[in-house]
Amino acid sequence: MTKINIMMPFSRGHLKTTLIKHYEPMDITIHQIMFESEVYTNFDREWVKPFFIPKSHPKPSTYAALYAVNYFLANHKFSDDDYYVITPDDDIYAPGVFNAIKKMNDNIVVISMDRGDQTRHRRYLYANKDNMKKEYVGGEQFFIKGKIYKKIQFETNRCADGIMVEMLIKKYTFRYEPKLFVFFNYLNPKWWKPVL
């Protein structure tokens, strides 16, 4: 079984209880990435590993989450054969996703994304080769082995996920799992009428 690590830029302290309830039964590790200057939300769970960005690296006014992820990528000691995935703190994975991924051993596994019943365009980003480009993917869809992720740095712009994917697909074989889903911004009522 392949271990799964979520790299989670965390800022929404009010979601702590919801996230514990959802993720605790799933036997995964969450790396809770926070700026040291922010108010710390203590999950008090062994499977949640706080990672603090020091005050010497202040939180930028734009693309703070990407900055946080890049700092983590540059400073974390990765397990080469574990899966890592970037997940905002208001996204949720559908039941069964992690159990399915743990049984895989491919370098990169891509799942689909549902962007919510309130989204105005392109609700579904399906896991298929044609969608591996800017504007058609999100980082939450990509479970990537540590030996690859530790070499990545994201560009800090709105197309960062797509740029990263366009680079990776030239070097690696992707495994597509279109029936597995992540729910984008699921804990944000502006995007969803919750169903879980």
Domain of 106, CATH number, reads 3.90.550.10
Joined tokens for residue 106: 């491919």
pLDDT number for residue 47: 98
pLDDT number for residue 119: 76
In this prediction the pTM is 0.95
Give a yes or no: residue 154 inside a domain.
yes
pLDDT number for residue 194: 59
Asked if residue 104 lies in contact with residue 2, where contact means CB atoms within 8 angstroms, the answer is: yes
What burial letters (b/e) apply to 164-180, b meaning 16+ CB within 10 Å? bbeebeeeeebbbbeeb
Give a yes or no: residue 131 inside a domain.
yes
Asked if residue 165 lies in contact with residue 142, where contact means CB atoms within 8 angstroms, the answer is: yes
Give a yes or no: residue 148 inside a domain.
yes
In angstroms, the CA 106 to CA 83 distance is 9
Give a yes or no: residue 193 inside a domain.
no
pLDDT number for residue 154: 95
Question: Which domain range does residue 80 map to?
Answer: 4-183
Give a yes or no: residue 192 inside a domain.
no
Q: Which residues of the chain have pLDDT under 50?
A: none
Q: What are the DSSP calls for 8-64, one per residue?
A: EE---GGGHHHHHHHHGGG--EEEEEEETTSPP-----TTEEEEEE-TTSPPPSSSH
pLDDT number for residue 190: 77
Give a yes or no: residue 59 inside a domain.
yes
pLDDT number for residue 196: 54
* Domains in the chain, number: 1
